Amino acid sequence: MAARDVRDTIAAVATAAGAAGIGIVRLSGPRAIAIAQALTGATLQPRRAHYLRFLDADGAVIDDGLALSFPAPRSYTGEDVVELQAHGSPVLLAQLLRRCLALGARAARPGEFTERAFLEGRLDLAQAEAVADLIHAGSAAAARAARRSLDGEFSRAVAELAEGLSVLRMHVEAAFDFPDEDIDLLATPALAARLDDVRDALSALRARAERGRRLVDGLHVVIAGPPNVGKSSLLNALVAEDRAIVSAIAGTTRDLLREDLQLDGVALTLVDSAGLHASGDPLEAEGMRRARAELSRADLVLAVLDASASDEGACDALAAELPAGVAVLWLLNKCDLVPAAAPPLSPEALAVSARTGAGLEALRDRLRVAAGHDLGAGGSFSARARHLDALDRCAAALSTAGRQLAAGQAELAAEDLRLAQAALGQVTGMVDADMLLGRIFAGFCIGK
Ligand code: GDP
């Protein structure tokens, strides 16, 4: 981040789409237009496409193509920007880039164009991160979510919340700035109601951000259950390939099998866990240790029981193995062995059959919803673990503020509300730590 305040001109090859494709060299900074004019020998009109030849120092033609200039501040970075479209040959693009560097540009670091856009106030941090999410989107749903974040949907929700918090802070601060007022400002029910409103809005935003995080990262699903209930068979049926070893002898799944799958454009990771049960076998014990570690990292656990053989005892034993707070979907597999009229073991459980495929479409639907592909919720925006962490810190500070308010401690409550607002500000970029910026933008590709 050393060069953060130095407004030099950066250059990078933004895309190289192969010999037949188009390659772009992008320049940003005060010398961008001068460099492009030296390179082409032409005067560039703002926002006009010029068909030109790109020349080397000795006047030899490197390539021909288009040059477009976007003078500050109406450009991606907010600085003078030039884009040179050449043929997509990596050799030509490297030559073009070398020439730009010789004319005074510096090679851009990964994400530096977007970093500059952020520093110039063209994008806030959540939007800047959405640029990277859009580029790396592994699915159509993830790309749509990143688009919404880039359009500022997440940032606007955060700003609305910050506004609610500001009003709250004003009221609380008024209470101790004017302690001689007749009415006890802190005791007014309106204040408590306002705090509750902010907390409700925050938890709704957190739920949306969590869905967005899953869309970006993919959902981590763990299949768990006692041996021989059909966990491996379910994994196979969902991925439609014979990967896990399926066997009628209890305890064959000693290791964890991972399978990445795309479900309607949503990334899921399935982990087939070792049968969770008491065993003296050291190999099985190791499998169980790994399974428990996976369970603790899961976004969703598919808790599988055998519909034809499980009783409440099996259900309780498995429930006891699941980490607290994790989302669980109960599955009763082998429903093909149970008469349709048989009462379900649990009303929330989904009856499925890995053998016949019964119930698997309903299971896929549930997975889609869990993975953030929740059409009923008006679509999600992309978010990251960093954002969820900031929202959690905001929620914690609000809880403390609520307790302080109830105890009549206006000054302490005001300080907690300030901390809550600061945590919220970190989502959109009221951050002072260069380290954080460095980490975020280093995750980008060069030329963005
Ligand atoms: P795991 O130990 O839980 O992974 O169980 P497996 O997937 O290895 O399956 C154990 C046995 O149950 C195998 O013989 C499977 O063929 C059988 N099985 C799995 N799913 C079903 C199902 O839906 N219906 C029936 N009838 N048998 C199944």
CATH 3.30.1360.120 maps onto the chain at 13-122
Closest ligand 1 atom to 352 CA: 23
Distance 110 CA to ligand 1 centre (A): 49
Domain 219-370, CATH among 3.30.230.10, 3.40.50.300, 3.30.930.10, 3.20.20.70: 3.40.50.300
Beta-carbon contacts of 304 under 8 Å, excluding residues fewer than 6 positions away, are: 223, 224, 225, 229, 230, 231, 234, 331, 333
Ligand 1 mutation target, pool 238, 246, 304, most atoms within 8 A of CB = 246
CATH T-level assignment (fold) for domain 140-215+381-429: Four Helix Bundle (Hemerythrin (Met), subunit A) (1.20.120)
- The dihedral sign for the CA sequence 236, 241, 243, 249: positive
Residues of the chain with CATH 1.20.120.430: 140-215+381-429
pLDDT of residue 379 exceeding 90: no
With left for phi above 0 and alpha for psi between -120 and 50, is residue 218 left, alpha or beta?
left
What pLDDT was estimated at residue 143?
Answer: 86
Residue 16 — very low, low, confident or very high, per pLDDT cuts 50/70/90?
very low
Residues 6 or more apart from 30 whose CB is under 8 A from it? Answer: 7, 8, 9, 79, 80
- Integer Cα distance of 446 and 94 in angstroms: 13
Residue bearing the CA closest to ligand 1, atom 9: 230
> Which residues are within 8 A (CB) of 97 and not within 5 positions of it... i.e. 6 or more apart?
11, 12, 13, 25, 107
**pLDDT tens-place string over residues 347-377:** 678 999 999 999 999 998 888 888 776 644 4
pLDDT at 99: 95
Task: Please check the confidence at residue 5 and state whether its pLDDT lies above 50.
Answer: no
CATH number for the domain whose boundaries are 13-122 = 3.30.1360.120
CA distance 105 to 85: 17
Q: Which residues line ligand 1 (CB under 6 A)?
A: 225, 227-233, 246-248, 253, 275, 333-334, 336-337, 353-355
Cα of 233 vs centre of ligand 1, distance in Å, is: 6
pLDDT of the residue at 243: 54
| CA distances (Å), origin 184, targets 46, 164, 174, 178 | 61, 21, 11, 10
Q: Does residue 47 carry a pLDDT above 50?
A: yes
- The predicted-structure confidence for 421-444, as pLDDT tens digits, reads as follows 999 998 988 655 455 566 667 666
Distance (Å, whole) CA 327 – CA 109: 40
Domain with CATH 3.40.50.300 in the chain: 219-370
Question: What is the pTM assigned to this prediction?
Answer: 0.69
**pLDDT higher than 50, residue 1:** no
* Per-residue pLDDT tens over the stretch 214-242: 888 778 888 888 888 898 888 888 877 55
Select from 430, 431, 426, 422 the least CA-distant residue to 384: 426
